[in-house]
Amino acid sequence: MIFQGKQKIWSDYQKDIPDDHYFYVRSCIRQNFFPASEQTFLDIVHNRLGKDFYETPHHTTCGGIAYHGEAIPQETVMTIIARQFALMTESGYENYVCSCITSFGLYTETMDDWRNFPELEAKIREDLWKACRREFKVPKYLAHASDVIYKFRNEIAERAKFRLVNKETGEPLRVVEHIGCHYSKMFPSKGIGGAEYPYVLAGMIESWGGEVIDYPERRHCCGFGFRQYLVKANRGYSISNTYKKFESMEPYKPDMIITNCPGCPFFMDRWQYVIAEQTGKTYGENGYGIPVFTYEEVAGLVLGYNPWDLGLQIHQVAVEPLLDKIGIPYDKADKYKGKNGKLLRVPEYPMNIKCC
């Protein structure tokens, strides 16, 4: 691997990311999959970095799941997006940042379509007006929330309590980065580092002390594929893609995986359980899996948040071996306690993949 070659590509695919003043929209599924990630993001930008990120309870899903699941047509999804933009406009913001990769891809695609087909934009404006009497401005700037964390990765590193380093050996942790397909595969120029060698997560890993693994199936989809998973008959094909990725990364002995998409961390986490229960195969050390994180969770860990406040107990693959490796303290007894301190139910242990 010639590192300078990658640096050259990375320097070709940089984008300006505004410093401050964003209208923030959440993802519809991430709050269930990784319930604390978005809260952690807002806490970091508000309380650690002192930035202005505004969110409104009136915003909805972008419609991406239904659109990619072939349940609603493009005009519908565009009108939903137009309404989100209207909320941004009404709140007095011009920079739009979304938590979800599929939303980011869909917003990028919609804005590109409107640029190329102004008559389509005009029609959507009319539809939106008819539907809810709202008007909107197209955002001046569209970012994915991982772009923002990327932008402030060095500031986060300066405030870090922990680094992605094995505390026993002092060696950097070996980290797999996985980028959601809709981040830059459709519009390479909109992603930091482009589509073939995205840098958005690699940059965080480098800043926070880890070592990025470049394995053969790095560019491969996580396997979610929307309707491929949603329709049970297709699930074998969905999990086979995930299996392919894990088989490919296995020889590198990764310590952890970082992702920036709603579906990827969920499926790379949960499918490890299914693969283990179907085939007996596990990919981590000592019968554990390879823990999979969102970038917000990793930023939170680095900054010293309590792992259970980050929602890591919701993961299928146990995170404790990794926390021990880095030296992040946690209280075992608190793992399944709710916000009120009362013990929630403890999940059953799987047969073939070790959990804590």
User: Beta partners for 28?
Assistant: none
Distance (Å) of CA 266 to CA 158, 243, 247, 270: 29, 14, 18, 6
Give the separation between CA 261 and CA 255, rounded to whole angstroms. 19
Residue with Cβ nearer other proteins (117 or 237): 237
**Least distance CB 194 / other proteins (angstroms):** 7
**Least distance CB 290 / other proteins (angstroms):** 15
Any idea of the CA torsion for 252, 260, 65, 182, to the nearest 10 degrees?
Answer: -80
Residue with Cβ nearer other proteins (21 or 219): 219
**Least distance CB 198 / other proteins (angstroms):** 11
Non-local (6+) Cβ contacts of 211 within 8 A are 172, 173, 174, 175, 205
In 36-146, at which residue ranges do the beta strands (DSSP E only) sit? 53-54, 95-98, 141-144
**Least distance CB 8 / other proteins (angstroms):** 7
**Least distance CB 5 / other proteins (angstroms):** 4
Q: Residue 292: in which H helix or E strand, if any? A: strand 292-294
Residue with Cβ nearer other proteins (252 or 330): 252
Residue with Cβ nearer other proteins (73 or 251): 251
Residue with Cβ nearer other proteins (38 or 269): 269
Contact footprint for other proteins (CB under 8 A): 1-2, 4-6, 8-9, 194-197, 214-219, 232-233, 235-237, 239-240, 243-244, 251-252, 274-275, 277-280, 351-352
**Least distance CB 12 / other proteins (angstroms):** 9
Residue with Cβ nearer other proteins (194 or 321): 194
Of residues 98, 199, 197, the one with CA closest to residue 151: 199
Give the separation between CA 148 and CA 145, rounded to whole angstroms. 5
Give the separation between CA 60 and CA 212, rounded to whole angstroms. 35
> What value, to the nearest 5°, has the Cα angle with vertex 209 and ends 203 and 212?
55
Residues listed for the chain:
356
Contact 303, 156 (CB under 8 A): yes
Residue with Cβ nearer other proteins (252 or 336): 252
**Least distance CB 180 / other proteins (angstroms):** 18
